[in-house]
Structure 1
């Protein structure tokens, strides 16, 4: 297949063209990929913030119980 010319000089072999077609089809099949990825990053940030707040509150609440002496 010599119909294609790559600007970076990559040889247009059958395996390279097949790889490019597969990559394009994967990209075309998931138009929401970028939006989903951005949403996942936001969710991870929010969950990590909530986890750190929860950990701080747990340490603050239970420090009294842990340091208490039983008579």
Structure 2
């Protein structure tokens, strides 16, 4: 199948276009596992609205010494 957007009579008004919908994949969906995609499908089939959220940045872990530093007393 060849899709030629240049010949489309609604060129520039792509909001209802199937091709535009297929190409407008949410960010991060490529990182999901098959199990996660199946879970999303099950929720959608049950009537839930599923929205992918951005993964938050991992927290910065600052190492804390287990023992206080020994200070030389003069």
TM category (shorter chain) comes to under 0.3
Provide the TM-score with structure 2 as the length reference. 0.27
Task: Say which structure is richer in helix.
Answer: 1
Higher relative contact order (CA 8 A, sep 6+): 2
